Structure 1
């Protein structure tokens, strides 16, 4: 069984994505809930805010815990990350 090292930058990037999506997901949910015009408006709004806050806290905790990780990678991991980044660049254009 091989073990890979996840670099600090990868965890920090994922946590930043969680925080970004928590904010905008909560915003979009609030807009959608307002469009329901009274169908459980208050409870759905509270639920969406609660989920957004939980995701925000989770992202912050993940960033704080990622500080304990190292940015060192094994040679085979460096090669795999380079290939993943290459394919991401190809498909994201």
Structure 2
């Protein structure tokens, strides 16, 4: 799921700031020349998340930047929280660490 763009009124000559990171990439990018999936079956491939490295909230939707095990930072992609059902423990850990850093 790609986040919705900001909408709002503006005067001529003014532009709205982009809230998307400059390096915004989603799961539609190619994975050629990288390790294959760790599990393939029943019509799907599963890749292992190494860690969550960032979080952004756009229009009340939360996205996490995912680092895939065996892939370089070039393949870090943003995923909606709903797409990370199999990584709830990593999301919880990221949020816990974020709260600790803020206190």
TM-score normalized with structure 1 length? 0.27
User: Which structure exhibits the higher relative contact order, with contacts defined as CA atoms closer than 8 Å and separated by 6 or more residues?
Assistant: 1
TM-score normalized with structure 2 length? 0.25
